[in-house]
Structure 1
Amino acid sequence: MSDLLEKCHVCGGLIDEEDLFCGNCGTEAPHRQQDNTPTSTLSTHSFSCTGCGAAMSYSAEAEALRCPFCGSTRLEKGVDHKVIAPSKVLPFKITEAESQQILREAIGKGFWRPPDLSEKAVIKNMVPVYVPYWVFSADVATNWTADTSQTPFGASGDWYPLAGEHSNQYSGVLVGASGVLTPNETSQLCPFDMSQTVTPDQVDLDRYTVEQFNVARKYARPMARSALESLERSSVDAAYVPPRSRNVQVNLRIQNMASEPMLLPIWIMAYQYKDVVYRFLVNGQNGRSTGHGPVSYHRLYVILGTVAAVGLGLVALAALCGGLGSLLSR
């Protein structure tokens, strides 16, 4: 977090340079007001779900007020307030029918799933939602060291020290800003092709449910740094560090980190199997999916029974061999 702080001109509260709004009164930060780029918009169709806590701008064309994240109809109308405005929006390409087909094919796979899951699962809710993400870019400079067993000719030791430098520019690093979807869920749906984004005025957002940004930029930055470090370490390991190495140390310096708030398309679906409802998500651009599902306890018990039977058989065999050994030694 930056040490540079400003004061809100309305309530006098301290505002970090990464904040878009005052945390006390919601007034737009002074340094944002001086920028010509719009960073906020007025939310006039804001609802919060009393079931899961989701905050969203709901579609005016929706047939019923139902939370797309948990299926609850207990939605409370919020007062008009400013919310973070997305700089770009990625349009939907995957249709409702295609999403349903993706769900049927995905839940039918996997040894631990019930064999009749794909056939008997009933889709209870299906909503196209624009989910907020922070999209980061940065310059990364790296110094690395390692010991390799690929020693040069004439070396007397078994290990030889190596060192090097590397630099790279990264863009399109995504950090989910949803208040309901978990970081694992938002990351599992990646990647998205960010070259296909358009400005918000090119998408009729009133036709969709739009979740508001629930993760502030300054809280997304540590997650972005972790992702950048992972990308850079993988890049250095693959391109520079020899395969037979040990004591690999990678020191990174991240500079010029920047980010943009964007809305990305996700089909949020709920399906029911034997009175239990599970959530399933589909990337609205390329069809990548993730979700939860039931476990076939019958198959689990069969595997556990087989393992137990094999274990008992091995114990009995060991006892028999021990008995035979005793008889032969007499």
Structure 2
Amino acid sequence: MSDVADDRCQVCGALTDDEDLFCHNCGTEVAMADANTVAPSTTAATHSFRCESCGASMSYDASAQALRCPFCGATQLSEVSTQSVLQAEQVVPMGVDRAVAEARLREFLGSSFWHPGDLGRQSQMQQATPVYVPYWVFAADAHTCYTADSSHTPPGARGDWYPVSGERSERYQGVLISGSSVLTPAETQSLLPFDLQAAVPNGELDLTNVTLEQFRVARKHARPWARTSIEQLERQRCATLVPGRARNVRVNVMLSNVSSTSMLLPVWILAYRYRDQVYRVLVNGQSGKLAGQAPLSYWKLFGVIAAVVLLVLVLLLFGALAR
């Protein structure tokens, strides 16, 4: 993969990427250093808003009567002057409706022993908003050389571990790196997987009256995360090639034919209130998979700890009496 020249925005000074064509921080167009550089298309965002509370940048439904940030629920949204923003190349359509998303939330609230017993009854839905969240989708060829220690030692060996090495090659596709500046990496990763084969070219879906979070992670910053993700996968797969148990697995990964696509993925963002605190829950808008926050019942936690301590004391007492 060829390196892309580093430069800075002439307006805000943020690092820019020739491939992204515009500054991801302020939207200023970036002068192309190489006339042959192929850049993704942009679009003029005429109804862009920025949340004063969490900093989310989004293109919002212009017909909405009351603007509210879907990420934090704040109403302090400031309209941003018209600027160029990255237009995703592909979009995965929303396949989960509001009723299903809310049903998944109700199941989640009553699904864990560690949740308060009245969580399902006392929780109040605050909002449920479908949002198209930006992701970078990477593909690459990986050739890996690895070393490790194997518990499978040859006959006559004195030690318990034996050094092994090898190499392998694999084509990776669909490596997803979030382009969101609001959702945490843990939240966006917990929603995976998405069926990317269902993606359609941008323009085939009417996205004029939906909420689109704008790309706020530039391609150049997403690339190292993609490499790290592939290296982690390679470390896991190389470990399976080691006879017996493996330890100290080390990999040296060389990537080639790296490509990336900008894509919007559907996510329901739900918020519920429990005892004066608001919690956020995400639902994969394609599969219905849920990832979210919930309060912990400290009474149950303390009860379990007390029961364990009591059991240990009883066992110690019986052990002492048996002597």
Amino acid at match of 2:273: Q
Provide, for residues 213-269 of structure 1, a one-character-per-residue CA deviation record: whole Å limited to 9, x for no partner: 11111111111111111112222222x221234443322112222211111000000
> How many residues are treated as equivalent by the alignment?
319
Amino acid at match of 2:43: T
Contact kept? 1:2, 1:16, Cα under 8 Å: no
Matches within 5 A, 1:137-286: 137-151=139-153, 155-158=155-158, 160-238=162-240, 240-286=241-287
Provide the C-alpha distance between the structure 2 equivalents of 1:293 and 1:150, rounded to a whole number of angstroms.
45
Of 33, 54, 58, 1:56 maps to: 58
2:78 alignment partner in structure 1: 76
Provide the C-alpha distance between the structure 2 equivalents of 1:9 and 1:119, rounded to a whole number of angstroms.
54
Structure 1 stretches lacking a partner, 5+ long: 326-330
Provide the C-alpha distance between the structure 2 equivalents of 1:136 and 1:218, rounded to a whole number of angstroms.
12
Q: Which moved more, 1:76-85 or 1:255-264?
A: 255-264
Provide the C-alpha distance between the structure 1 equivalents of 2:12 and 2:279, rounded to a whole number of angstroms.
44
Provide the C-alpha distance between the structure 1 equivalents of 2:282 and 2:34, rounded to a whole number of angstroms.
34
Amino acid at match of 2:150: T
Provide, for residues 92-125 of structure 1, a one-character-per-residue CA deviation record: whole Å limited to 9, x for no partner: 0011100011111112111110122223321110
Contact kept? 2:148, 2:247, Cα under 8 Å: yes
Amino acid at match of 2:187: E
Of 34, 47, 53, 2:49 maps to: 47
2:298 alignment partner in structure 1: 297
Amino acid at match of 2:300: R
Structure 2 stretches lacking a partner, 5+ long: none
Provide the C-alpha distance between the structure 2 equivalents of 1:250 and 1:74, rounded to a whole number of angstroms.
48
Q: Which moved more, 1:127-136 or 1:52-61?
A: 52-61
Provide the C-alpha distance between the structure 2 equivalents of 1:274 and 1:73, rounded to a whole number of angstroms.
21
Shift of 1:126: 0.6
2:124 alignment partner in structure 1: 122
Amino acid at match of 1:203: L
Contact kept? 1:56, 1:209, Cα under 8 Å: yes
Secondary structure (helix, strand or coil) at the match of 1:127 reads: strand
1:27 alignment partner in structure 2: 29
Query: Whose helix fraction is larger, Structure 1's or Structure 2's?
Result: 1
Secondary structure (helix, strand or coil) at the match of 1:227 reads: helix
Q: Identity of paired residues, percent?
A: 46
